[in-house]
C-alpha cells in the first residue's frame, strides 16, 4: 500500500519528498499533523530496512517533525515505529510515525494503555539490560 502511495497510484497528502523518502499525512491521525515517513524502496520492517534507508527516513522524520511542530505550535513530538503485528504494525512497509503532541487535548487524541508511572523492578531491568548489551556486543562484525 505504501509502495502505491510512493508511486502515486494510491492517493495521499504528501508533505515532503526526496530521493529516498516520502512523507505523507496519516489517514487515521492520532493528533493534528500526524504523518508518516517511508523509504521509497520497499522494506517490510525495522529488521529488514537497509541502514542507508533507515538513516534517510530518520533524518526526514526530524525535518518534518520540526516543520509540523512549528506549523501547528505543537508542544512536543513522538516518533513511533511498529515492527511486527504484535507491536501494532498493520502496513508491512517500514514507516515512522511523526506525531505532534499538544497540551490542548482537542488536537491530541493519542492515548496508550502504557502506564509509565508504575515503577519497574530495578533488578529485573538490570538483568534485561545486561542481556541486550551482550546481544549487541555479539552483533559487531
SS3 string of 83-135? Answer: CCHHHCCCCCCCCEEEEEECCCCCCECCCCCCCCCCCCCHHHHHHHHHHHHHH
Residue with Cβ nearer Zn ion (53 or 108): 53
- Residue among 22, 33, 69, 93 that touches Zn ion (CB under 5 A): 93
Residue span 42-81 as binding mask against Zn ion, x where in contact by CB under 5 A, dash where not: x---------------------------------------
Is the separation of the CB atoms in 24 and 12 below 8 Å?
Answer: yes
- Residue 41 in contact with Zn ion, rule: CB under 5 A: no
Closest by CA to 8, choosing from 30, 40, 31, 44, is 40
- Residue 7 in contact with Zn ion, rule: CB under 5 A: no
- Residue 91 in contact with Zn ion, rule: CB under 5 A: no
**Is 93 in the active site?**
no
Say how many C-beta atoms besides its own lie within 10 A of residue 52's C-beta: 11
Q: Which residues bind Zn ion (CB under 5 A)?
A: 2-3, 42, 93
Residues with a catalytic annotation lie at 95
Amino acid at each position: 500500500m505504501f509502495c502505491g502511495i510512493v508511486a502515486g497510484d494510491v492517493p495521499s497528502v504528501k508533505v515532503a519528498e526526496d530521493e529516498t523518502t516520502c512523507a505523507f499525512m496519516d489517514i487515521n491521525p492520532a493528533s493534528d499533523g500526524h504523518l508518516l515517513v517511508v523509504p521509497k524502496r520497499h522494506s517490510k520492517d525495522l529488521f529488514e530496512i537497509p541502514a542507508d534507508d533507515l538513516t534517510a527516513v530518520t533524518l526526514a522524520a526530524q525535518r518534518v517533525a520540526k516543520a509540523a511542530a512549528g506549523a501547528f505550535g505543537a508542544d512536543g513530538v513522538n516518533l513511533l515505529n511498529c515492527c511486527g503485528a504484535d507491536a501494532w504494525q498493520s502496513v508491512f512497509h517500514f514507516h515512522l510515525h511523526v506525531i505532534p503532541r499538544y497540551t490542548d487535548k482537542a488536537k491530541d487524541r493519542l492515548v496508550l494503555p502504557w502506564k509509565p508511572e508504575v515503577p519497574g523492578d530495578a533488578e529485573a531491568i538490570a538483568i534485561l539490560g545486561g542481556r541486550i548489551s551482550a546481544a549487541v556486543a555479539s552483533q559487531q562484525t
